Amino acid sequence: MYGYLKKAAAMVAVVLVVLPGIASADIIVSMDGRGAPSTHGFGALGMYIGRYNSSGSSFAGSTLNAAANNFIWDGMPGTINEITGDFTIQGQQERVLNGEIWDVTINLTDVEYRNPDGTYRDGGNYLGGISFDQLTDLSNGIDPFTGVDHSADSTFGFEWKALTMELDHGGVSSYPETGWTGLSMPIPWGHFNVAEMHYDAGPGLVFDAWYQNLETDKWWAEVGDTKANVEFDRGTITMVPEPGTLLLLGMGGAFLARKKQKHARARRSVA
């Protein structure tokens, strides 16, 4: 029996050497508001929550700098999954009006890549993730897929098609806390997806996102915007086994189980 066990263990060990798996790590992100809304636009302190203007063509300009509508991002944390490209933002933001601290959770999925010429990689059906090296290239104005320097451009990078957001005031709020989804604005602003992490010739890497709440009856808080500067670092690297490795490991386990059952039956027949 021990000879069979050693043989099976050796088979499993060979599988682990031949198919070691994929190195995976979350990219650790930190974001700060870009500055004054009067200079950088809606959401430039970190997050804007407000309403459309009377024509419904843009956000209400009268609330651009309003303290009640603006929240500060100072080191807002997030993580990007290198394999899927999913981006989770979870932290706290400060309301300018009264210093209230609000919890915020934003989940971004279905990543795309916008090329420097404005087209989308793989025709808008990008199936890859976002690696640390790709994000490093992008932050330096280099197209991570071609290696070409496009530091004179500011319209390329990773984008997300889907977004959900939840807010938590910690008490009774006049703003809706659930029901938030992403808002794309292809016309007239050219935002074909609901969030972007693009290269910008000034700060380097910037994050923009747009929100809408179709469930609320609070007309004064039906849309939102974020504009933030991005810093990032590599997270802890883990090994994700290849599917073939998992299959062969399962076969090895089944092999051991069958051998144990065979020898158990042999011992019972002798007895």
Listed in sequence order, the residues at least 6 apart from 53 whose beta carbon sits closer than 8 Å to its beta carbon are 59, 60, 61
What phi and psi values does residue 266 have, to the nearest 5 degrees? -60, -40
Q: In this structure, how many other beta carbons lie within 10 angstroms of the beta carbon of residue 255?
A: 16
**pLDDT for 17 beyond 50:** no
Q: What is the C-alpha to C-alpha distance for residues 53 and 1, in angstroms, rounded to an integer? A: 79
**Count of all residues that appear for the chain in the document:** 271
Q: What is the pLDDT of residue 267?
A: 47
The residue extents of the domains of the chain are 2-20+247-270, 23-239
Q: What is the pLDDT of residue 188?
A: 85
Q: What is the pLDDT of residue 57?
A: 86
Question: Which whole number is the average pLDDT over 181-196?
Answer: 94
Pick the residue with more confidence: 6 or 179?
179
> What pTM was computed for the model?
0.80
Q: How confident is the model at residue 242 (pLDDT cuts 50, 70, 90)?
A: low
